[in-house]
């Protein structure tokens, strides 16, 4: 089914969580497109607010400064899986939010409770406004953002596999430094006090280490179709 086609199956909310490099984004976009669902990359929203902080000279090492500015940026996420978009104050930031500067600061900004509250409210509103259903990917979707999601999936993979994938995405990035950066990010996201990266108790875990992207997509599509059939 193409995006935008009228779905014949019941609406379904799918939460896909996991650390970087497990294939969350590619899998989520493909599954949403296949099944006629909306798509939301929540990580892009945290990157967007981090980009705004950096651009506006907010000290990202100062949680109080981050908290004070948490509500200022207007973040709009497009939910078409074929062409997901994100703007901040009307500016297309799909490219700028992927820079190393933003990547190195996003965990610190994301850990501030006021930021998480602001972005979580935005995420819930987007999910509630998707009548056909939606695939939402991130790190705390099944545990915090959408704890009542119809289906929760937690993608995992070895640090080595994730580093290899991310290095490929970053075009020649050093594999060892990429692996170390991923492990550091995992530790920061898993240990933060507010909405840490964690697997929901009722999530289906899918280890993607030995799977191709196509195999992961097929696995998740099957899980969603089974959930829809049971609704």
pLDDT at 166: 67
Lowest mean pLDDT among 9-23, 186-200, 216-230: 186-200
Distance CA 143, CA 149 (A): 10
Q: What is the pLDDT confidence band of residue 231, given thresholds at 50, 70 and 90? A: low
Residue 37 and residue 14 in contact, taking contact as beta carbons nearer than 8 Å: yes
| Tokens (6 digits) for 82 | 């074929």
Radius of gyration, CA atoms only, the chain: 17
Q: What pLDDT is recorded for position 182?
A: 73
pLDDT band at 129 (very low <50, low <70, confident <90, very high): very high
Q: What is the pLDDT of residues 52-104, one digit of tens each?
A: 999 999 999 999 999 999 999 999 999 999 999 999 999 999 999 999 999 99
């Amino acid at each position: 089914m193409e995006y935008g086609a009228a779905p014949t199956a019941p609406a379904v909310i799918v939460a896909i969580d996991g650390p970087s490099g497990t294939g969350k984004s590619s899998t989520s976009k493909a599954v949403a497109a296949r099944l006629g669902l909306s798509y939301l990359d929540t990580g892009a929203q945290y990157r967007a607010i981090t980009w705004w902080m950096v651009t506006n000279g907010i000290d990202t090492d100062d949680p109080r400064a981050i908290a004070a500015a948490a509500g200022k940026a207007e973040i709009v996420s497009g939910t078409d899986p074929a062409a997901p978009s994100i703007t901040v104050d009307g500016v297309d930031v799909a490219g700028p939010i992927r820079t190393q500067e933003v990547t190195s600061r996003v965990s610190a900004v994301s850990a501030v409770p006021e930021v998480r509250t602001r972005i979580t409210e935005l995420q819930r509103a987007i999910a509630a406004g998707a009548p056909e259903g939606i695939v939402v990917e991130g790190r705390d979707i099944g545990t915090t953002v959408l704890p009542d999601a119809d289906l929760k999936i937690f993608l995992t993979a070895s640090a080595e596999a994730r580093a290899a994938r991310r290095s490929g995405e970053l075009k020649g990035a050093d594999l060892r430094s990429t692996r170390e950066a991923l492990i550091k990010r995992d530790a920061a996201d898993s240990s933060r006090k507010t909405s840490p990266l964690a697997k929901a108790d009722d999530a289906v875990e899918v280890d993607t280490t030995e799977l191709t992207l196509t195999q992961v997509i097929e696995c998740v599509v099957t899980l969603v179709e089974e959930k829809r059939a049971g609704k």
